[in-house]
Chains A and B, each alone.
Chain A
Amino acid sequence: MARDGGVSCLRSSETMRVGIGGMESPPLDLDDVHVLAVDDSLVDRIVIERLLRITSCKVTAVDSGWRALEFLGLDNEKASAELDRLKVDLIITDYCMPGMTGYELLKKIKESSSFRQVPVVIMSSENVLTRIDRCLEEGAEDFLLKPVKLADVKRLRSSLTRDVKLSNANKRKLPEDSVPVNTSLPPPPSPFTISPDSSDSSPPSTISPESSDSSPPLSPVEIFSSPLSSLLDDEDDDVLPSSPESSPAPEESPVRRQKMGSPGLD
């Protein structure tokens, strides 16, 4: 994979340059997984970006919920023609951020017609049951405890590949080639598009974690950075870790079920 399929276009990640470059139209490489990462902490942003890139994701990293909405074209009400080309397969966001929390961002994404199907993963350093429940209830795909580890991201990545391949298989209308998986939803009618607006997209399927070979990350990453606005922290309790139990969200989420240890669908 030597192409840049992501929307980002700033140059090398060695120089942590700041700035908004022009958006180039990405060639639609349907097998690429494009992740939007949101974290106000520079260090965490760099780390999550590397974690994702080393697991073969294209990454766009932004430093706030507002930037994320801006990137997604959700910051104004009018739909953008660019959205048809904007392929975001996963949004991973920090919970505690000034201005807009990850939870608020999650809600906005789930309220949008264009992106509500995109899985949203929340990261937090605080293992607070009520917080986890709230996020999962709002439709978060998963909740990762910080500091995030490579194993966490690999797990996410492998379940995402399955999703993308599933929707691609459907798009190409090759049922024989599609990954055999039991879903609780009826198969989508053809033609099936990967437009996020489709209400027929197959749900993510559960797979067991596999170690993916790290391929050299290739796409440049664009890092939006802005001075921190007023630092309002949501919750600040440092509680002792307890095993999180979450009730299943209304939407099927095999990734979460997998996290809970139930057998994978395969």
Chain B
Amino acid sequence: MATALRFPANVSTFNNYNDLHPDWTQREVSTGTTIMAVEFDGGVVIGADSRTTTGAYIANRVTDKLTPIHERIFCCRSGSAADTQAIADAVTYQLGFHSIELDEAPLVQTAASLFRDMCYRYREELMAGIIVAGWDRRRGGQVYTVPVGGMMTRQPVSVGGSGSSYIYGYVDSNYRTGMSKEECLKFTAEALTLAMERDGSSGGVVRLAVISEQGVERQAILGNQLPKFSTV
């Protein structure tokens, strides 16, 4: 993010707006968000909510935060919409070029490294929390998380975004190794539903995707079809 310019206190800053230009026309577009990815034997399940906010206004209620980087590699975007879109576009280009040079499908770790390099190098200017997930032949299903700041680490299950704070307990207590694809889908859908229920910046529909050797299967769970918990 650009560093703010400092002015003497008695001078009006550039943000001297009145009713004609309400707050949300000036705010940057943020993906608020809850994102999640889980490894299983044979692939990964990734999920995200669909809300993009500018301040208190929902700019897009059907956002697709699961962005394809390559045929079997996706990234889940959280943080500034502009920053994550620009990073994803850049990495898609770099990975595509690399894949053509190699003449074979790229590794998920390579994609994650490209994200990490960019997020770390420009850490002062960017606000991006990204989860990279996919399948490759060498290591099967993998989830790498690249949070704000540019760290990169591989985790069997990872959550991110503003709504993730509310579901760490649920994820830690309900995750088991060796879950099947269907169990992972149910686990992800329920976790995201709980986060969307509590976090104001997350909402809309639950977008899910399964990435495996066979390819990518996408689905969306609409508001009325979300799993139901207590009615309190």
Check if A and B associate.
no
